[in-house]
Amino acid sequence: MQEFGGSSTWEKLERVGRYLSAYQIALKNQSFRKIYIDPFAGTGYWTPKVARDQLHLALSERIEIAKGSALRALEVEPPFDRYIFIEKKPGNFSALQKNISLKFPNLLNRIEFINADANHALIHLCRSVDWNENRAVTFLDPFGMQVDWATLSAIAGTHSVDVWYLFPSHMGVARTVTHNPQVPPHFRKALDRIYGTTDWEDYFYRVSSQGLLFVEDAPSVERVATLQRIESYTRLRLESIFKGGVAKKAVPMDRDGRNMYLLFFAVGNPKPAARELALRLANNILE
């Protein structure tokens, strides 16, 4: 088992799992094939770092909490037509194959395991799958700033994939947007990569004239990258490519009382009926 997270990890898995179940029930009579894609599948299990007694869960729920997103997706009824599990680390990948093979042997003919970088694998899938015949849900659950904007653009371009995205609001962006406006080059490159633009600088910094005594004094630049502004800017960026829309609320995922991530939902299909259904399901889950 991988050791990470706590009660917020359980919460995000619960929310995504509820959507997968609702999605499969709502679309069970549709003719297209339905795919679940897990680009950061890990080993299939996880162990919380915090003491389990702190989670205030019954013993049966403590057993349930050990299941990661991959195993939870395989439990959804009716099952997806195809599952794609991506994991980059060889050790985790081998454990993932073993764990799933032991627990879900009846679904192995529907499962594809890919040992590769999530960004490369997702872009390839977006280009190779016939999206006239398929629809998908993917759960982007990185440990940090691993998801490239080019990957999100490829997903959005399919017009067929709904996305749950655990965005590194504090874990990545807030720590990278330094109080000194001269952001180090490696931090700047990371922000450009996850946002696909340099416009974040205009949103997270502003010119301040406070304290100027003379007109000729040079204005100072101050950091205004609050978590609220990070959420607002991230939503604007997602809305620029996901034509089906983005859920009105992003759920904060806390650790030690601090907002470390934001759980976003974006709709791939811009058709009104598909958009309305997906947003209704997601908004109910995100409330």
Closest CA to 181 of 149, 217, 215, 219: 219
Residue 277 CA to its chain's centroid (Å): 20
Q: What is the DSSP letter of 79?
A: P
For residue 149, the model assigns a pLDDT of 98
- Give pLDDT tens digits along the chain (287 positions): 444 445 678 889 999 999 999 999 999 999 999 999 999 999 998 655 554 445 444 444 444 445 899 999 999 999 999 999 999 999 999 999 999 999 999 999 999 999 999 999 999 999 999 999 999 999 999 989 999 999 999 999 999 999 999 999 988 899 999 988 889 999 999 999 999 999 999 999 988 755 545 555 556 788 999 989 999 999 999 999 999 999 999 999 876 556 789 999 999 999 999 999 999 999 999 98
What distances in angstroms separate CA 250 from CA 32, 113, 229, one per listed residue? 29, 30, 13
Q: Is 71 helix (H, G, I), strand (E, B) or coil?
A: helix
For residue 115, the model assigns a pLDDT of 98
For residue 61, the model assigns a pLDDT of 47
pTM: 0.88
For residue 48, the model assigns a pLDDT of 58
Domain 2-169+234-286 -> CATH class: alpha beta
> Contacts for 49-55 with beta carbons within 8 Å, 24 or more apart?
49/3, 49/4, 49/5, 49/6, 50/6, 50/7, 54/6, 54/7, 55/6, 55/7, 55/10
User: What's the rounded Cα separation, in Å, for the pair 21 and 107?
Assistant: 17
Which strands, in side-by-side order, build the sheet including 258-266? 111-114, 82-86, 33-38, 134-140, 161-167, 258-266, 251-255
How many Cβ atoms from other residues are within 10 Å of residue 223's Cβ? 15
For residue 179, the model assigns a pLDDT of 87
For residue 51, the model assigns a pLDDT of 44
Angle at 78 between CA 72 and CA 80, to 5 degrees: 70
